[in-house]
Amino acid sequence: LVSRKNQPENTVIELNGTSIGGSTQVMVAGPCSVESYEQLRIVAAALKEAGIKVMRGGAFKPRTSPYDFQGLGIEGLKMLKAVAKEFGLSTISEIVHPAHIEIAADYIDVIQIGARNMQNFELLKEAGQAKIPVLLKRGIAATLEEFVHAAEYIAVSGNSNLMLIERGIRTYEKWTRNTLDISAVPILKQETHLPVLVDVTHSTGRKDIMLPCAKAALAAGADGVMIEVHPDPQTALSDAAQQLDIPQFIEFMNGVRESGLLH
């Protein structure tokens, strides 16, 4: 169902007036974790100022260690809803349990399925029943074939309002958090009709190369770029090392716009 052979035209996701997968590319930003109402408002104000319409923030956090912050859960989704309404933004947030797929639509505009759950088939099937779009992340060590098959699970279960996002894969390279597979962008665009985004935060884990990687993604034909921003990254409850602060985020956005690559 997701194959370009089956549907030659691009799938375009409509989010309150923002199209993803059409002729314009979108920037998506927000904090790794929703930590408080105030934190989210500061980020939302910066997004609005930068002309960004889609905010992403995690409420259910799939953390490597069980002792790390696990997210605010439904309370976090409620904060996303309130802040999105105040600032006129659309929202994306990760859902990790099939039981939360249905109620997610009450709070957010797009369900993210994270890298660790790319092959959680029961979650994928439930996401196929969702009434709202799904953003599927590439698994930590997933081949493109596995990634496309995971998307197919969602589509065949009834939801073809689907987007893919490359977030880096695990390789032997240690100078980046993961290895950003830029080749995934044109391949997924050729093989599927789905919008393809690139997450420059989790793929690189390095603030100093996020701008060139975002440019590479846009030049390669990505439909959007996702980046994490936090009012005070040093005190962030997750991904403290790699979230941009607000001035860095503004500089990043200026760099993206000045490149002329964002159309």
Residue type, 189: K
**With CB cut-offs between 5 and 8 Å by kind, which of ligand PEP, Mn ion, none does residue 236 bind?**
none
In the window 113-142, what residues touch Mn ion (CB under 5 A)?
none
Q: Smaller CB distance to Mn ion: residue 192 or 242? A: 242
**CA–centroid distance for 1 within its chain:** 22
**With CB cut-offs between 5 and 8 Å by kind, which of ligand PEP, Mn ion, none does residue 162 bind?**
none
In the window 6-35, what residues touch Mn ion (CB under 5 A)?
32
| 167: nearest Cα among 180, 151, 154, 158 | 180
Mark 44-83 with x for binding to ligand PEP (rule: CB under 6 A) and - for no binding. --------------x---x---------------------
Q: What is the total count of residues that contact Mn ion (CB under 5 A)? A: 2
In the window 186-205, what residues touch ligand PEP (CB under 6 A)?
202
How many Å apart are CA 20 and CA 195, to the nearest integer? 7
In the window 2-41, what residues touch ligand PEP (CB under 6 A)?
32
Q: Which helix (H) or strand (E) holds 55?
A: strand 54-56
Taking residue 135's Cβ as centre, other Cβ atoms within 10 Å add up to 27
Q: Smaller CB distance to ligand PEP: residue 84 or 165? A: 165
**With CB cut-offs between 5 and 8 Å by kind, which of Mn ion, ligand PEP, none does residue 137 bind?**
ligand PEP
From residue 254, how far is each of 30, 207, 211 by CA, in Å?
Answer: 17, 15, 10
Q: Which helix (H) or strand (E) holds 47?
A: helix 37-49
Q: Which residues are at the interface with Mn ion (CB under 5 A)? A: 32, 239
